[in-house]
A = this chain, B = another copy of it.
Amino acid sequence: MRISELDTPFLLVDLDRLEANLDRAAAAARAADLKLRPHTKTHKTPQIAQLQLARGAAGITVAKIGEAEVMADAGIDDIFIANQIVGPLKIERLLALAERARVSVAVDSTDAAAPLSSASAQRGLRFPVLIEVDIGLQRCGVPPERVLDLVREINTLPGLNLAGLFTYPGQVYASRSENEVAGIAAYECRIMGDLARQVTPIAQVADRISGGSTPTLPHYFADCGLTEIRSGSYVFNDRTQIDRWAAKPENCALTVLATVVSSPEPGRAVLDAGSKSLAADLAPDSPGHGVLKEDNAALLIKLNEEHGFLDLSQAQLKLRVGDKVEVIPNHACVVANLFDEMAAVRGSEVVETWPIAARGKLR
């Protein structure tokens, strides 16, 4: 089947671009002697996780137990849930999942760790946990100066095995230059390396000092302080990654195929893709909600739920009702969460259709 035969809106992944993105990240991780444990929240699709593992990924990262369950169903065995697990229902599911896959999770407080500790100890398990360190994002995690205290507290809890430390330098998305990105990566490495040395005498964490993001990916090196990175967005890239010097438009593998449904006057077209298929997320610097793959000067200036307002005034491209176009979105991860499936395409052909099996796994 050809792309042009698909109904719209349809989510497309360009396999040539995807494979190049996967290869580039795998090479960067290898060059820096880092394990790559990609965050699969970006694609939520077991087939793509398998492509990452085939290129040497050392396990995967997910955000939710539901995502981990889907990936375990697909036979993936080493899964890190980079998120706090809170509540008895989740702990029960987590322990059930651990019977069929190697799973580790985040902790950042004894409040969150204690219920998992009890439940795990009751089953005679030592559940692998990684302490989340906050190096500036101010989301979850403990600040570096409190890590040693938390290590000592976790050490007193039964049923847990402190297996590593991790951080997420998400503040990189607020940086204003590529130099600043490099500086954040350097800071991350220094803090995490220092912590690894401080903690090692009282807990065996040295094998998993985990960090990383897509913008910081090119800025690591051997013995930088980390042993593992969890970059996610590099798989698809998007306008956010372009804004953060991590990609060019021609590296963007995920697009939304859309149809022009109305063109009330020249220079203006309305697409059948709005915030229900592109999400309302803004890019850090670039205006609007997306650009066309066919002509990057064609800008989606506004989204309603089912309508994309396309401004063609700066574009060469002319469009009329019925024409199909591909939109490069601001934020690929949330777009993949809005579709039930994606078409894997090569050139103008649809090669396969992949269910986005972990779409909507919110819990």
Which residues in A have some Cβ–Cβ distance to B below 8 Å? 7-10, 41, 63-64, 83-84, 86-87, 89-90, 108-109, 111-112, 115, 134, 138-143, 170, 259-264, 268, 270, 272, 275-277, 279-282, 304-307, 309, 320-322, 333-334, 337-340, 360, 362-363
Partner of A276, one of B139, B142, B337: B337
B307 touches A139 (CB 8 A): yes
B262 touches A108 (CB 8 A): yes
Give A275's nearest chain B residue, CB to CB. B334
B112 touches A305 (CB 8 A): no
Give A256's nearest chain B residue, CB to CB. B362
A362 touches B9 (CB 8 A): yes
Known contacts A275-B334, A280-B279, A321-B86; is-contact A141 B264 (Cβ 8 Å) = yes
Known contacts A111-B321, A281-B275; is-contact A261 B363 (Cβ 8 Å) = no
Known contacts A84-B262, A262-B84, A264-B141; is-contact A321 B109 (Cβ 8 Å) = yes
Partner of A320, one of B7, B111, B276, B362: B111
Give A87's nearest chain B residue, CB to CB. B259
A268 to B363, CA, bound (A): 22
Give A90's nearest chain B residue, CB to CB. B7
A259 to B140, CA, bound (A): 13
Interface centre among A277, A279, A321, by most chain B C-beta atoms within 10 angstroms, is A321
B264 touches A142 (CB 8 A): yes
B337 touches A111 (CB 8 A): no
Contacts of A340 in B (CB 8 A): 360
Known contacts A63-B306, A306-B64; is-contact A112 B262 (Cβ 8 Å) = yes
Contacts of A276 in B (CB 8 A): 334, 337, 362
A140 touches B270 (CB 8 A): yes
Give A5's nearest chain B residue, CB to CB. B89
Contacts of A279 in B (CB 8 A): 275, 279-280
Q: Which 10 A-B pairs have the closest CB atoms?
A: A84-B261, A111-B321, A140-B262, A7-B89, A280-B280, A280-B281, A86-B261, A63-B306, A7-B363, A9-B362
Known contacts A63-B305, A280-B281; is-contact A87 B7 (Cβ 8 Å) = yes
A337 to B274, CA, bound (A): 13
Nearest chain B CB to A359 CB, angstrom units? 8
A111 to B320, CA, bound (A): 9
The contact sample of 30 A-B pairs, CB cut-off 8 A, is: A7-B89, A7-B90, A7-B363, A8-B87, A41-B305, A84-B261, A84-B272, A84-B321, A86-B261, A86-B321, A86-B322, A109-B262, A109-B263, A112-B321, A134-B264, A138-B264, A138-B268, A139-B262, A139-B270, A139-B304, A140-B262, A275-B281, A276-B337, A279-B280, A280-B280, A280-B281, A305-B334, A338-B360, A339-B362, A340-B360
